[in-house]
Amino acid sequence: MRNFHILLKTERQFLLATILFVIILLGIFFQFAIIAPQDFQNDTLVVISQGQTLKEISIQLEKEKIVSSDKIFSRIIVLLGSEGSVQAGSYYFKEPENAFSVAKRLISGDKRLDSLRITIPEGVTLATMAGLFEQKFEQFNREEFMRLTEGKEGYLFPDTYFFFPDVKTIEIVERLEDAFREKTVELAKRVEESGRDFQEIITMASIVEAEAYDLEDRKLIAGVLWNRLEINMPLQVDVTFRYINGKGTFDLTLDDLNLDSPYNTYKYTGLPPTPISNPGLESIEATIDYTPNDYLYFLADDSGNIHYSETFEGHKQKKSIYIDSR
């Protein structure tokens, strides 16, 4: 009986020793494999590229000191049943995180990046728009943007947007196109009732956008320009030269006015072949719901006030008062 108790005591001691050993091993495992490395660098940005394998991602995370063991990390991902679900993108690590937390973030796409705000002013061209994005987002590709937006001048909506710092160029283009469709979808019936097609409206709106800043004047100017088109009179607007050669009204020369370009509205009648910028919603609506009038001419004085005339003689008289007398 005494031997039995000794044996039982020995077995208990062995079991306790085994449990203690396992606990120590788990502690070591947790210390060196699960928690973040001691030399973790705060404010680390890790970029996971599309198409990377789990092994490549795990090695990268260990190399960049986000996890202590690439092998343990990859096993955690497999354990979570998401071997092929790690999402590409840029992940921001403000402070150390354990391997389970890192794994969950990569699976759910939790990048923890603050979005950046960018405002695209109404009436900017695609080229100007590209410059704005180029200044704001390091990964923005100007050449790709211009290629993706070829033929889409006028159809990317100017507005204030929020994008993550690692946003792809194609995602920016898609977002601006979606915004344009959302903002203009309800205008379809009004465009149809106007008797004009959608491209005519957007092209005219891009001119109106550049000619006036006030809604009332935009609606009046749209009426003037539609009047000119109806009698096959050249639009004779200076703003299209900004699209051709970047020149404003006071920079134009006689050679510019004779420039052989379909955007030269002094030389060719009708609307330009495409919009000359990306107009805002107000200018688009002003072009549809313009103010009917009998004017054929208009000019702006130094204060930005617009003066309208029905005849060329009246226009010349106003020009002598508000322009030539400066």
- Angstrom distance (rounded) from CA 177 to CA 157: 7
Residue 131 is assigned to a structural domain of this protein: yes
Is residue 153 within 8 Å of residue 276, measured between CB atoms?
Answer: yes
The reply to whether 98 and 74 lie within a common domain is yes
Residue 257 is assigned to a structural domain of this protein: yes
Number of domains observed in the structure of the chain: 3
The reply to whether 206 and 301 lie within a common domain is yes
Model pTM score: 0.74
- Angstrom distance (rounded) from CA 148 to CA 146: 6
Residue 65 is assigned to a structural domain of this protein: yes
Please provide the DSSP assignment of 85-113 as one string. Answer: -PPPEEEEESS---HHHHHHHHHHT---P
Domain of residue 140, residue span: 116-184
The reply to whether 154 and 221 lie within a common domain is no
Residue 26 is assigned to a structural domain of this protein: no
pLDDT of 290 reads: 96
The reply to whether 293 and 208 lie within a common domain is yes
pLDDT digit of tens for each residue in the chain (326 aa)?
555 555 555 666 655 556 654 554 444 555 545 677 888 888 788 889 888 999 999 999 999 999 988 988 998 888 887 767 888 888 888 888 888 899 999 999 998 888 889 999 999 999 999 999 999 998 899 999 999 999 999 999 999 999 988 889 999 999 999 999 999 998 988 998 899 999 999 999 999 999 998 999 999 999 999 999 999 999 999 999 899 888 777 787 888 788 899 999 999 999 999 999 999 999 999 999 999 999 999 988 888 889 999 999 999 998 888 877 65
The reply to whether 58 and 154 lie within a common domain is no
The reply to whether 143 and 256 lie within a common domain is no
Contacts of residue 21, Cβ cutoff 8 Å, sequence gap at least 6: none
Contacts of residue 306, Cβ cutoff 8 Å, sequence gap at least 6: 212, 214, 217, 220, 221, 298, 299, 300
